[in-house]
Structure 1
Amino acid sequence: MMSPEIRLVRARVGLIAGLVAVALFTVCMLALAAASSVEAYRVTHGSGVAGVFTPERQHCTQRHGRRSWGSEHCSWSGTFTADDRSVVLVDAELRDDLGTSRGDGRPPPVSPAYVDVRADAEVVHRPADWWDGPLLATLAVLVAGTGLVFRLLHWYRKATRPFESAHR
């Protein structure tokens, strides 16, 4: 049987390790979300080339997650043409389903659409792209991280309760 002092030390080490892991995970996920939203915001608000995206091919993939098992995510590839015709990308990708699902007909052209010719010129952004997905992902990470912290604190209190009550 483990002594109460060792049990307390193990609980403290477990709490600290858990909090560090949650903090690192949250920081990494927030950095990824921020990088994605900063690029899309920058492209749609100044440094991108404005134009029209004409969807041509639909690409659908199966999602495999606890809540999304069997659902699909679709995106479109097609031609991006700048308003001034200075840039034409034949196989550009718009990471949006445009309100369609597998097998639906081709949606109308998307305007305005933006590309960053200095960076990833194959990805087309829409004006709402900078906040929609990354903001929701950031909120989900913050909620999950907060939930994990409270769970770790609950576990720590439960693990140390018998020791504390015995030494009062």
Structure 2
Amino acid sequence: MSEESKIDSPTRDLLDRVQEFCMSKDFEGQFDEFAKVHADTFLPAVGMESGAEHQLEFHACFEEYLEHFEGKIKRFIESTGEGTVEDFYEECRIALETLGEFHPKRFFIEALLATTEYPIFFSLMMGEVRKQHPDYKPETGEVVEDEERLILRSSAHPSCHLLPPPSTNKHPSSPITSRND
């Protein structure tokens, strides 16, 4: 079977279905929620110099993100009964090799691949940090309060990243805790 005919094979529907799934409000909402819950992990990166070494917590959060969202896509593919993850990868490879530069399917695949790269993930998380804490100034060590958390960043207490409000417990799946735990 030629490469061109493979892209028109019945499994081509798999790429369409995965694209639809990834662009659904539910899937996008889960990414937004992940970013909101984990944004404070990246607060120490505000004002960080370009090329500075990233904290291990940033990479751990990235690994958690990959595991969560790649798992969701894998489970979705398996639930369709229309192919395997390997079929999806093959379909993506063929699409990247045969579709024009501005084809919507190619754009989707490239965007999906980009989100699996740490620098893209880091940039997205920093955007969420700036959204949640637009006035945060790391050089002043000021306390920033919001409805869900109390963030402490001062030179006197650099080991404390996040203290949950007294009335709530920390988020059970969040890696954001005091380093003294």
User: TM class, shorter-chain normalised?
Assistant: under 0.3
From the two aligned structures, give the one with the greater strand fraction. Answer: 1
- If the length of structure 2 is used for normalisation, what is the TM-score? 0.24
The structure, 1 or 2, with the larger RCO (C-alpha pairs under 8 Å, 6+ apart) is 1
- Please state which structure has a larger fraction of its residues in helix: 2
